Amino acid sequence: MSVNFAHEIDERRPAGTDQVVLQVEGLKVYYATPTGDVRAVDDVTFQIREGEIVGLVGESGCGKTTTAMAILRLVQSPGRIVDGRILVDDVDIARLNERELRQIRWTKISLIPQGAMNSLNPVMRIKDQIGDAIETHEGRQPRQALKERILSLLSTVGLPSRVYKMYPHELSGGMKQRVCIAMAIALNPTLVIADEPTSALDVVVQRVVGETLLDVKNRLGVSMILIGHDMGLMAQLVDRIAVMYAGHLVELADVYSLFREPLHPYTQLLIDSIPSIKERKPLKLTEGITHDLRNPPPGCIFQLRCPHVTDKCRTVVPPLLEVAPSREVACHLYYDA
Ligand X SMILES: Nc1ncnc2c1ncn2[C@@H]1O[C@H](COP(=O)(O)OP(=O)(O)OP(=O)(O)O)[C@@H](O)[C@H]1O
Q: Is 66 in the site for Mg ion (CB under 5 A)?
A: no
Q: Is 62 in the site for ligand X (CB under 6 A)?
A: yes
Element holding 173 (H helix, E strand): helix 173-185
- Binding-site partner at residue 61 among Mg ion, ligand X, none, CB < 5 to 8 Å by type: ligand X
Q: Is 65 in the site for Mg ion (CB under 5 A)?
A: yes
Q: Is 110 in the site for Mg ion (CB under 5 A)?
A: no
- Binding-site partner at residue 31 among ligand X, Mg ion, none, CB < 5 to 8 Å by type: ligand X
Nearest to 125 by CA among 162, 81, 172: 162
Which residues contact residue 109 at a Cβ distance below 8 angstroms, ignoring those fewer than 6 apart? 22, 71, 72, 88, 189, 190, 191, 192, 193
Q: What angle do CA 317, 41, 59 make, to 5 degrees?
A: 90
Q: Which amino acid is at 138?
A: E
- Binding-site partner at residue 158 among ligand X, Mg ion, none, CB < 5 to 8 Å by type: none
Q: What angle do CA 281, 285, 291 make, to 5 degrees?
A: 160
- Binding-site partner at residue 293 among ligand X, Mg ion, none, CB < 5 to 8 Å by type: ligand X
Q: Is 263 in the site for ligand X (CB under 6 A)?
A: no
What does 188-216 look like in DSSP terms, one character per residue?
Answer: --SEEEEESTTTTS-HHHHHHHHHHHHHH
Window 287-306: contact mask with ligand X (x via CB under 6 A): ------x-------------
Name the residue nearer to ligand X (CB basis): 61 or 158. Answer: 61
Q: Is 28 in the site for ligand X (CB under 6 A)?
A: no
Name the site residues for Mg ion (rule: CB under 5 A).
64-65, 114
Binding residues for ligand X, per CB under 6 A? 31, 33, 38, 40, 58, 60-66, 78-79, 114, 293
